[in-house]
Structures are given as C-alpha cells and as structure tokens.
Amino acid sequence: MDTDPTRTDPTRTDPTSRPSTLTASTPDELGEAAPAEEAPPVAPVAVIGAGAMGAGIAQVAAAAGHDVSLVDAAPGAAAASLARLSEGLSRLVARGRLTQEEATAIEGRITPVASIDALPDCDLVIEAVPEDLELKRRLFAELALGQPSTTVLATNTSSLDISAIADEVTDPERVLGLHFFNPPTRMRLVEVVHGELTARAYVEFATGLMRTWGKTPVVCASTPGFIVNRVARPFYGEAQRIVEAGVADAATVDWILREKGGFPMGPLELTDFIGQDVNLAVGTSVWEQTGRDPRYAPTELQRSLVARGRLGRKSGSGIYPYAADGTLVETPPDLGLAERLVGGPVATDPLARTLAMLVNEAVDLVRRGEASAEDVDTAMVLGTRYPKGPIAWGREIGFDVVAAQLAELDAAFPGGRYRPSPALTDGSIA
C-alpha cells in the first residue's frame, strides 16, 4: 500500500470544485490554526449517528457556525440526543463558560432529521455509527448516491480501514477519516486519515476546516490504529508483561511511570479506567490488522482479566479492586523496589523499557511515511496526555541508546517484538 501522506492524485478530483462555501480552507490558505471565532459563516454539515461521538461532533460543528443535520437510525434518538446536548449547554451557561445567546444559537443550528434520504445537500457528512465495517460501507455507498459529488464524506472510525469503508463509493477520493477523540467537545485532537485513494485536496480541506473548528488536526495514512491507538500499544503491553513476569506489582509499575516518567496515569490503572475489554479489543484489532505482528500481541494477563469479567473500574475489579463508589482501593507501591529497577537493566526497568518501545513505534510510523514526526508527537501529547512526544523523547534519550536498549530486550525476549526500527540508526529521523 502506498502510505506516503504526501501522495496525491490531483487528476482524480479538481480541488477547485470543493464546495464554494467551505473554501476558507483551500490549500494555499492553510497555516496557523484560525481561532474558532474567526471562522466564516459556513456550509451545511450532516452527522450520521447521534450517540456519544456524533452528538459531540454535531455540537462542535454547530459552535463553529454550521447548520447541522443530525440523523440516527433509532427512532427519536437524534431528538433525545439534542435534548441531552441542550442540558449540557445549559450547564455551560450556568458555569459562565457560554452566554445564553451562544447556547441558544448552537442548539438552534442542529436539526434532527429522520433519515439519510431526507438530508439537505451538505458540504460535509461525518459518520459516527457503530464500529461495523459492513454497516459503514453500506452507509457510504448510500451517502455517495444521495449527496452531491462534491460532498466530503468522513468517518469517525477508530480502527477500520478508510479504503475499505470507501469500497463501494464510485469516487473514493472524497472519503476520509475524521477521528475525533472522546469527548469531541473537549478533546482538541482530530486525526485526519487518508485512504489509498483519498485526494490530497480533500485532506487539506479537512485539515483547514478542523482548525476553524478550534481543533488541532494531524494527518496520517489509514494504518492500523492510526497514530494514537498504534503508538500507545506498548505503553500498556510493556507494563502488563513486567507484571506477568513478576518483576514488580501493578502499583509499583504504575508509580514508576507516573512519578519517574511524568505520565498522568500509570498504564495499568489506565487500562482499568478505559475498560480491559475495550483496551484488549483495540490491541487485538491492531495485532490482527498487522498480520499478528508480535509487537502488538495481547498479553495472557489481559486476556485472563477479560475472560474472568475483571474489566476494570466499571465491573468493580480489574488489575485493581474498586470500592462500591468506583474509587480505586489503593495498593501501596514498593518504593525500594522502584528505586532499584529504574536505571537498572532495561529488561526490568519499566520506564526505560516502555519509553524505548514508544520511541520505536513512533519512528517506525514516520519511517513508513504514515505520518510526520511533528504530527506523531502532537497526536500523542494531545490524544493521550503524554508529557512529551515520543520522538522528542527519543531525541533526548538518543536514538542510538534506544536502539541498544531494544537490542538488549530482543536478546532477552526473542521473537520479534523488540526488533529495532531501522529509523533509529539510519539517520532518517534527525
């Protein structure tokens, strides 16, 4: 697959045929993020699926000035979602974060629409229905027929291949991913994902538009997990393996990553928070889509937690036990052990081992041409709240040091998981 993000096929789509009312973001005008309040009056947008993500995306689009049609297959769901959104806006007004006029204007721009057939012509459609390839494929074929040929068709998928979703669209160059993070109203990051046939003009259009929505877009190829869900895999996997091997208990590993690494949450408590089942599903999806690359192999520890129903905070127990009100029942870390592990051999140093793998994953993504180094770092800082981007971190540690650490890990745990990316030593990433 051609994965160069700069790849284009401008002959397939005339960039000047972009919807005229959205030309605030033509490629030549791309540059610094435009403050949301400077966004010009804008064109109609539709959001398909009024669940957790769709409702938030609709609110963000309406706040940027778009008229938004909101469609949901479940009868009454779009109206119910709008009512919840209205309550949320009222809370923002009560807290002084929004004026009543602004809240009324945002709400007034969103219209529940009964079905896709009843949609007005839109300049952008964002799909946020459940993560089911066949469902999305059918929906995109239907949208492509029902909407003008210039309408940009975007999916909020977190894991599916954009090219596969565009399979039955006759002009797939206008299909791309707009991967918002949860909740879309608060998370600034949006991954703009291009499939094999997505035209560069549309990627640039979407990137510029996201800036006018007050978001920070990053561009990536439709690679398994995109940027964030791919690069983050070893953050969880290394911690689980260290606990599995009996090197340290979960509380000690989490303490090291938090206190010595500066991560806002330890990897093990974070998987409990996300849900062990959800985290395992994402990891397994990346593992399957990469042809079961050992770098992404799920751990027995996590599989067993899920099999036993220990899904984390939501089920009352996971890696840690939780009290009835959902608060974590504290387990004290072994601080003496933590001090001995950090700075010791890499195989038993949770921090060095995790960082080496994060850096490796990040540089490999860049080496394959799937995203730029700058975008990878931006995505990881905004999408996961890592204290530094992994590539900047790699520069600080030294890519040669990371390569040597991985060689040590590879010798200790053969099988390919720890193979160093050629980018660590070939000078391709300065």
Ligand X SMILES: NC(=O)c1ccc[n+]([C@@H]2O[C@H](COP(=O)([O-])OP(=O)(O)OC[C@H]3O[C@@H](n4cnc5c(N)ncnc54)[C@H](O)[C@@H]3O)[C@@H](O)[C@H]2O)c1
Q: Which residues are catalytic?
A: 158, 179, 191, 229
User: Residue from 71, 126, 143, 347 that binds ligand X (CB under 6 A)?
Assistant: 71
Name the amino acid, one letter, at 239: A
Q: Please name the residues in contact with 161: beta carbons below 8 A apart, sequence gap of 6 or more.
A: 195, 222, 289
- Binding to ligand X by residue 158, rule CB under 6 A? yes
Q: Report the distance separating Cα 182 and Cα 57, nearest Å.
A: 10
Query: What number of H helices and E strands is found in the chain?
Result: 17, 8
- Binding to ligand X by residue 191, rule CB under 6 A? no
Of 81 and 240, which CB lies nearer to ligand X in the complex structure?
Answer: 81
Q: Which range of residues in 177-185, 197-205, 330-338, 408-416 is near ligand X by CB under 6 A?
A: 177-185
User: Residue from 48, 58, 356, 379 that binds ligand X (CB under 6 A)?
Assistant: 48
125 phi/psi in degrees, rounded to 5: -120, 130
Largest CA distance in the chain: 65
Under a CB-based contact definition with an 8 Å cutoff, are residues 191 and 155 in contact?
A: no
- For the chain, the straight-line distance linking the first and the last C-alpha, in angstroms and rounded, comes to 25
Q: Please name the residues in contact with 409: beta carbons below 8 A apart, sequence gap of 6 or more.
A: 346, 347, 353, 356, 417, 418
What count of residues does the chain have? 430
DSSP code at position 166: T
Q: Which range of residues in 34-42, 130-138, 258-266, 281-289 is near ligand X by CB under 6 A?
A: 130-138
User: Residue from 46, 110, 125, 139 that binds ligand X (CB under 6 A)?
Assistant: 139
Number of residues interacting with ligand X: please give it, by CB under 6 A. Answer: 24
- Binding to ligand X by residue 282, rule CB under 6 A? no
- Binding to ligand X by residue 146, rule CB under 6 A? no
Strands 175-180 and 189-194: antiparallel
Nearest to 170 by CA among 44, 19, 12: 12
DSSP code at position 98: S
- Binding to ligand X by residue 114, rule CB under 6 A? no
349 phi/psi in degrees, rounded to 5: -105, 105
- Binding to ligand X by residue 157, rule CB under 6 A? yes
Of 25 and 157, which CB lies nearer to ligand X in the complex structure?
Answer: 157
- Binding to ligand X by residue 51, rule CB under 6 A? yes
Of 52 and 118, which CB lies nearer to ligand X in the complex structure?
Answer: 52
* Minimum gap (Å) between residue 162 Cβ and ligand X: 12
User: Residue from 17, 149, 182, 428 that binds ligand X (CB under 6 A)?
Assistant: 182
Binding mask 318-357 for ligand X (x = CB under 6 A): ----------------------------------------
- Binding to ligand X by residue 178, rule CB under 6 A? no
User: Residue from 9, 107, 131, 334 that binds ligand X (CB under 6 A)?
Assistant: 131
* Minimum gap (Å) between residue 158 Cβ and ligand X: 4
* Minimum gap (Å) between residue 58 Cβ and ligand X: 11
Which structure tokens are listed for 226? 């995109």
* Minimum gap (Å) between residue 348 Cβ and ligand X: 34
Classified as helix, coil or strand, 183 is coil
**Residue 375's Cα: distance from chain center in Å?**
12
Give the up-direction half-sphere exposure of residue 328: CA atoms within 13 A in the CB hemisphere: 17
- Binding to ligand X by residue 52, rule CB under 6 A? yes
Nearest to 331 by CA among 397, 272, 244, 406: 272
- Binding to ligand X by residue 312, rule CB under 6 A? no
Under a CB-based contact definition with an 8 Å cutoff, are residues 149 and 127 in contact?
A: no
Nearest to 200 by CA among 13, 369, 34, 368: 13
Strands 68-71 and 45-48: parallel
User: Residue from 75, 130, 291, 326 that binds ligand X (CB under 6 A)?
Assistant: 130
Which structure tokens are listed for 321? 């036990």
Which structure tokens are listed for 137? 């494929």
User: Residue from 128, 193, 227, 256 that binds ligand X (CB under 6 A)?
Assistant: 128
- Binding to ligand X by residue 177, rule CB under 6 A? no
* Minimum gap (Å) between residue 56 Cβ and ligand X: 8
- Binding to ligand X by residue 229, rule CB under 6 A? no
* Minimum gap (Å) between residue 179 Cβ and ligand X: 6
Of 89 and 160, which CB lies nearer to ligand X in the complex structure?
Answer: 160
Q: Report the distance separating Cα 241 and Cα 263, nearest Å.
A: 18
* Minimum gap (Å) between residue 91 Cβ and ligand X: 20
Q: Which range of residues in 18-26, 70-78, 304-312, 337-345 is near ligand X by CB under 6 A?
A: 70-78
Binding site for ligand X (CB under 6 A): 48-54, 71-74, 77, 128-131, 135, 139, 156-158, 180-182
